[in-house]
Structure 1
Amino acid sequence: MSNLSDVQKKFFINVLLATSFTFSISQSAMTTIYPTLMKHFSVPISSVQWLTTGFMLIMVLMMPLSPWFLKNINFKAFLLSLQAIFIIGTVIAVTASNFALLMVGRLLEGIAVGLLFPSFQSVILSITPIEKRSIQMGSVGLVMGSALAVGPIVSGVILQIFNWQAVFGFFLLILVVLFFLSLKFIKNVIPKEPYRFDLLSSVTLIGLLMILYALQTMITGLSLWLIIMLVAGIVLFAYFIRRQLTLQEPLLDIRVLKNTAFRLGMFLTAGSYIALIVTTVLMPLYFQKILAINALWSGLLMVPAAVSLSILNRRSATVLNRFGLKRTMTIGSGMIFTGFFGLFATSNLKLWLLAVIFAALVESGNAFMMMPAVTYANNALKDDLIPHGTALITTVRQIAGVIGVLIISQILVTISSPAQVSIHGMMVSFAVCAVFAAVLLSLVLNIKNTKNA
């Protein structure tokens, strides 16, 4: 970016972050309108949750492909294409006359989001000096984490005034504006390093989708077909991994996992993401189904969590630089544990104020974990491996999120019912999350006590 003026750099980064912010909001905005969609399309919660789970599955499938696109296509054309795909998907969703068409629109949105998330982080890391990366990634964390928290708020407010189609209309309006801004301000800042697209690798990557799909579908019942699909998925994905280790120019260079610091950062960011995504799914359901609060107020009750996450995301870079990874992660995992334990212990009291406080603790803890861990992991890699490292981190993080949502969905469906959420299902869900956070905290406390780790 040395050939860009300071003003051009500012617009470039802001347009890129704004696009990512809008994409990220779409990931969590559905949770607030679940009850409305269940009624409108006459589908149970186990079906409507596919608007989030299916979206995340297709994201996972796309993420490992992002290094190839980033190194083989001009970045400006790449970004504009992703915005166009998202816009098309959103138009389909807005005009959907049935649930199947709504799913098609969401899957197209998922394709765009899955390719953008690792790519925009790679671009920012690549153009930022290593000593300034923690601060810049604080902005990335602010965009991604805050957007996930803001999603239910935005959809709740819109739903109170308009219908559910207006939620997608909001994304459509913003993305059209960003598309034209990108035409003017986005530049080709990443040099192209073309290499062959390995078609066999991309085909065998479908094995990962088969695994996650089989696990998700098993919630509603076990069958021989699902078992066959799960086994076939494991075989295909195992071959994908083996092939990446043997290719001279792999689609996704998973050899970055040999780096101990990278592995640690990847695991920690995945753990924090589970806490964040599960919270954005559970809390709107708790507010609406247990406390009988309408969509608008259930969204507004997520504001404190979003605000605290936004403020602390920028502060976490300072904490990381001053105290190192262990202390930063201890703060984060400790807050996540306290938040989930508090939700478990007090949810039966049905006091919205306590729920808001403890949900804010969970999301605030994420600020001290997710992006500091990404920065730590990528700083351990050479610059040419950053696209692969970022793609692997975001892929693993999304897989973790999918698994987290699958577990919570299984708990809610088993203890509650496919059509109704019970307080007992919520309490068990919060308890499971608290146990997970406790395990995460114990692992963080075992990190070697050095400034960099």
Structure 2
Amino acid sequence: MENPKSMSNATRLLFIATMLIGTFTMSISQSSLSTAYPTLMSYFGVSAATIQWLTTGFMIVMCITMPISPWLLNNMSFKKLFISVLALFDIGTLIIFFGTSFPMILIGRAMEAAAVGILFPSYQTVLLEITPEKKRGTIMGVAGLVMGSALACGPIISGIVLNFTSWRGLFIFFMVVITTILVISFFVMKDVMKRVETKLDWLSIFYTIGLVGLLYVITEISKVNSEKSLLLGILVVSVIMIGLFVRRQFKIDNPLLDLRVLKTFNYDLAVLLTGFSYISLIVVTIIFPLYYQQVLHVSPFISGMALVPGAALLSFLNPITGKLADKFGFKPVMIFGMIMIVTGWGLLSVITVSNIILMILIAMLIEGGNAFVMMPAVTLGANSLPDKLISHGTAVITTIRQILGSTGVAVATLILVNVSKNAVDQGKSIMHANQTGFHAVYWTFFGIAVIGLVIALLIRNTQSNSKK
């Protein structure tokens, strides 16, 4: 292991830049395919429900591999781990590029998702490990470019690429960038993490299948023709398996995912806060384009481009909010961000927006608020834990955030579909029914944002527990 404190500023900067560019590119793949769905449906001759598994399956595999990341960090050289993850993603992308059938595409996506699931918590842990506590807010603000901006930028970048080439061109883009980063990694990545070798608990990994069932139910429940009795059965089994997973983590000496982090109340608040802010971000990127097309009647291209200002503001603010958190403390920064998010959803709840410019401004307000909340909450949560638990803490917070984000999308979709349908059944026009459905969504997430604001008021500024 190389002592992170002995790294020169130039070496540390190159190390961080390489890690963030690689992670950002891989993160884009999570949300980039939605733009290509119609093309892929036509090319492979599959239905909309089937093509959705390119995203649903990605999310499920990603959530399974997230809890394994602390064990990998403790048992592998970080340089080898980072290079292996990049190689896994590159091979998966290569399989997709040469894929001649939909199952081949799914296999490639699963490999990409496994790589992203391992790297997402790992890169945050490494950044926290190599950064002095007083600068953690700043560096994690830069990391927020990966967490937030990539999600928002995915559909935008894929839309631009697909405008000039076929769907395979999107994966050429991924391969070129990741292969370049892979080559650079052999020269600039360092082994910066302490290793505490332990035996991999396969029973815990088996129990994580409960996460698969839970996420499957969350994504399927919003579909009109879903079999509710089957989903209920899967949900019951999944909850039991998750319960067994949690119980085992507290019983064994070397847990796969050390859930003792949840005994720290301030950390629990940080988990909820980053999850609630992520819900707002992902719902904006999914629901707003629907509003643009169904209510404002703009083209898919315009609805995609309308996401650019919010994504740009989020990218611009993330490093700034990190510096503000270091200077003024995390709590006031997060409170300000939650006030922005509450204001955005509140405006949407009480007014009917018929102008796309106003919708874009409100999206910027909500996404800008996210920049003040999500990564500062991650950093504050990590500072609430002993250093030896940070890798587990980031894995827990990333996994829960992903589950909450998926739940938020499912809830928004359920509300939108059912409220709009009921309005049509009551004799309202399609336009009026759609507006009614969207307003129900806005009121719901206004309430969630208010709860997030309360959590931000309850949370405490804290110093790192590195001595524990």
Same fold (TM over 0.5): yes
**CA-CA distance at 1:434 after TM superposition:** 2.3
Distance in 2 (CA, whole Å) between partners of 1:285 and 1:34 is: 15
Q: 1:44 to 1:353 in 2, by over 3 A?
A: farther
Q: Which amino acid aligns with 2:345?
A: F
Q: Which amino acid aligns with 1:395?
A: T
**CA-CA distance at 1:348 after TM superposition:** 5.3
User: Residue 370 in 1 paired to residue 398 in 2?
Assistant: no
Distance in 1 (CA, whole Å) between partners of 2:152 and 2:349 is: 20
Q: 1:280 to 1:45 in 2, by over 3 A?
A: farther
Indicate the residue corresponding to 2:137 in structure 1: 134
Of 239, 245, 248 in structure 2, the residue corresponding to residue 240 of structure 1 is 245
Distance in 2 (CA, whole Å) between partners of 1:219 and 1:46 is: 12
Distance in 1 (CA, whole Å) between partners of 2:323 and 2:173 is: 34
**Following superposition of structure 1 onto structure 2, how do residues 27-38 of structure 1 map, counting pairs within 5 Å?**
27-37=30-40
Give the SS at the match of 2:221.
helix
User: Residue 442 in 1 paired to residue 440 in 2?
Assistant: no
**Following superposition of structure 1 onto structure 2, how do residues 47-446 of structure 1 map, counting pairs within 5 Å?**
47-220=50-223, 221-345=226-350, 349=354, 351-415=355-419, 422=434, 424-445=436-457
Distance in 1 (CA, whole Å) between partners of 2:129 and 2:331 is: 25
Distance in 2 (CA, whole Å) between partners of 1:225 and 1:11 is: 50
Instruction: Could you tell me which runs of 5 or more consecutive residues in structure 1 were left unpaired when the two chains were aligned.
Output: none
Q: Is the 8 A contact 2:135 2:326 kept in 1?
A: no
Q: Is the 8 A contact 2:353 2:359 kept in 1?
A: no
Q: 1:95 to 1:426 in 2, by over 3 A?
A: farther
Of 21, 24, 39 in structure 1, the residue corresponding to residue 24 of structure 2 is 21
- 1:89-143, Cα deviation, whole Å (9 max, x unpaired): 2223334445444333322211110100100111111111111111111111123
Q: 1:347 to 1:148 in 2, by over 3 A?
A: farther
Q: Is the 8 A contact 1:330 1:444 kept in 2?
A: yes
Distance in 1 (CA, whole Å) between partners of 2:170 and 2:84 is: 22
Distance in 2 (CA, whole Å) between partners of 1:24 and 1:289 is: 28
- 1:311-339, Cα deviation, whole Å (9 max, x unpaired): 21122123323443432222111211222
Structure 1 residue runs of 4 or more that deviate by more than 6 Å after TM superposition = none
Distance in 2 (CA, whole Å) between partners of 1:247 and 1:128 is: 31
Distance in 2 (CA, whole Å) between partners of 1:44 and 1:427 is: 30
- 1:18-41, Cα deviation, whole Å (9 max, x unpaired): 111111211222333345445555
Q: Which amino acid aligns with 1:334?
A: I
Give the SS at the match of 2:195.
coil
Q: Which moved more, 1:250-259 or 1:227-236?
A: 227-236
Distance in 1 (CA, whole Å) between partners of 2:111 and 2:419 is: 33
Distance in 2 (CA, whole Å) between partners of 1:289 and 1:92 is: 36
Q: Which moved more, 1:87-96 or 1:401-410?
A: 87-96
- 1:144-196, Cα deviation, whole Å (9 max, x unpaired): 21222221211121122223332222212211111111122112111321111
**CA-CA distance at 1:70 after TM superposition:** 0.6
Q: Is the 8 A contact 2:138 2:325 kept in 1?
A: no
Q: Is the 8 A contact 1:348 1:423 kept in 2?
A: no
Q: 1:253 to 1:232 in 2, by over 3 A?
A: same
Distance in 2 (CA, whole Å) between partners of 1:215 and 1:306 is: 26
Indicate the residue corresponding to 2:426 in structure 1: none
**CA-CA distance at 1:424 after TM superposition:** 4.8
Indicate the residue corresponding to 2:427 in structure 1: none
Q: Which amino acid aligns with 2:394?
A: T
Q: Which moved more, 1:143-152 or 1:31-40?
A: 31-40
Q: Is the 8 A contact 1:80 1:182 kept in 2?
A: yes
Q: Is the 8 A contact 1:86 1:108 kept in 2?
A: yes
Q: Which amino acid aligns with 2:448?
A: F
- 1:30-75, Cα deviation, whole Å (9 max, x unpaired): 3333454455556565544433332222211111110000111111
Distance in 1 (CA, whole Å) between partners of 2:382 and 2:63 is: 20
Q: Which moved more, 1:408-417 or 1:26-35?
A: 408-417
**CA-CA distance at 1:270 after TM superposition:** 0.9
- 1:223-266, Cα deviation, whole Å (9 max, x unpaired): 44333222111111111100100111111100011112211111
Q: Which moved more, 1:202-211 or 1:93-102?
A: 93-102
- 1:372-409, Cα deviation, whole Å (9 max, x unpaired): 11111111111111111111111111111111122223
Q: Which amino acid aligns with 2:311?
A: A
Distance in 1 (CA, whole Å) between partners of 2:184 and 2:175 is: 14
Give the SS at the match of 2:166.
coil
Distance in 1 (CA, whole Å) between partners of 2:212 and 2:112 is: 17
Equivalent pairs counted in the alignment come to: 448
Distance in 2 (CA, whole Å) between partners of 1:288 and 1:168 is: 27
Q: 1:41 to 1:291 in 2, by over 3 A?
A: farther
Distance in 2 (CA, whole Å) between partners of 1:336 and 1:401 is: 15
Distance in 2 (CA, whole Å) between partners of 1:239 and 1:150 is: 38
Q: Which amino acid aligns with 1:313?
A: N
Distance in 1 (CA, whole Å) between partners of 2:325 and 2:237 is: 42
Q: Which amino acid aligns with 1:280?
A: T
Distance in 1 (CA, whole Å) between partners of 2:352 and 2:48 is: 21
